[in-house]
Amino acid sequence: MSGMSKIVKTISSIAFPFVMIYGLYIIAHGHLTPGGGFQGGAIVASGAAMILVSYGSVWTMGKVKEKKLSILESTGAIVFIGTAILGLLFAGVFFNNFLFDSNLIFNIVPVKGSTVGILNSAGTLPIMNFAVGLKVVAGLFAIVLVMAYATTKMGGGKK
């Protein structure tokens, strides 16, 4: 893909920040409202894919290397499994929600029943949401980018 017209490029550059903020909102409020790390990550990744389509894979590959995405993805995964292992170290069980009802962050216990919702609650859940979000963004974008770039290099299938 060699990129689309100037109109498409401009519009997608304008839309991209909004898509990104929306995705981040979905990730951050994962424990309160519908959504979570996967859904928000998919939204951000689709925003990135929009940029990829409008600017072309060669240009995007010049800006973002798949290696960097790979590092980002590994980081997300390590944070996720690291939180689980911290549960083992602090509370003695793998995957324990050790932050919940402690005196660290995300520690507020919500009132039972219908509430407005407090962002600073739910223990390790928001951290895991962010880790998974990071992973999904990097992972999905890496898949799309690598596929688009490779098929461009192969000449659209004509051997």
Partner 1 sequence: MNDILSILINHSPALIVAVPLFGAFLTPLVGMINDKIRNIFVIFITLLTGFFTVILVNEVFTNGIKTYCFGAENPSVNPVVRIFFEIDGMSAFMALIAVILPIVAVIYSWGFAKEETGQSKYYTLILLMTAGILGMVLTGDMFNFFVFLEITSISSAALVAFWTNKKNSVQAAFKYIVISSIGALMVLFAVAIFYGQYNALNMAVIANNIGFGFLDKIALVVLIAALTMKAAIAPMHMWLPDAYSGAPSPVTVVIVGTTLASLYGVFRVVFTIYGKQFLTILRSFGDFAVTPSLLIGVFIVVLAVLTIVIGVFMALKSNDFKRMIGYAAVAEIGYMILAVGSAISTYFIPTGTTTVTMAEHGKMALTGGIFHMINDALDIGLLFLVAGAVYYATKETSLNKLGGLSRKMKYTTVFFLIGLFAVSGLPPMNGFASKLIIYQSTYQVNPILAIVAILCSIMLLAVFVKVFHSAFLGPEISSTKNVKEVPKSMLIAMGILAALIIFFGLFPEFVITNIVEPAKNALLNSSEYISAILGGV
Partner 2 sequence: MMTFNIPYIAVIGLILVGLIAVVFKRNLIKIVIGITLIESGVNLFLITLGYRENSIAPIYTSSPGGLMSLPVPQALTLTSIVIGVAVLALMISFIVHIYRHYNTLDASKIRGDEE
Partner 3 sequence: MSKRNFAAVIFFTIVAVFLFFTALMMHPFGIFDEDNQPEMDDHIIDNSQTETGANNAVTGVVFDYRGFDTLGEATVLFTAVAGVILVFRRLKK
- Minimum Å gap between C-beta 62 and partner 2 is 22
Token pair for residue 152?
A: 């461009």
- Minimum Å gap between C-beta 130 and partner 2 is 17
- The partner residues of 108 in beta bridges, in order of sequence, read 121
Among 4, 11, 21, 78, binds partner 1 (CB under 8 A): 78
Nearer to partner 1, 78 or 119 (CB): 78
Cα separation, 145 vs 49, in Å, equals: 8
Q: Note whether 83 binds partner 1 by CB under 8 A.
A: no
Q: Which residue's entry shows tokens 């519009």? A: 11
- Minimum Å gap between C-beta 67 and partner 2 is 18
Do residues 112 and 86 make contact, with C-beta atoms less than 8 angstroms apart?
Answer: no
At 121, phi and psi to the nearest 5?
-130, 180
Token pair for residue 114?
A: 């219908």
Among 1, 24, 50, 77, binds partner 1 (CB under 8 A): 77
Among 17, 62, 82, 110, binds partner 2 (CB under 8 A): 110
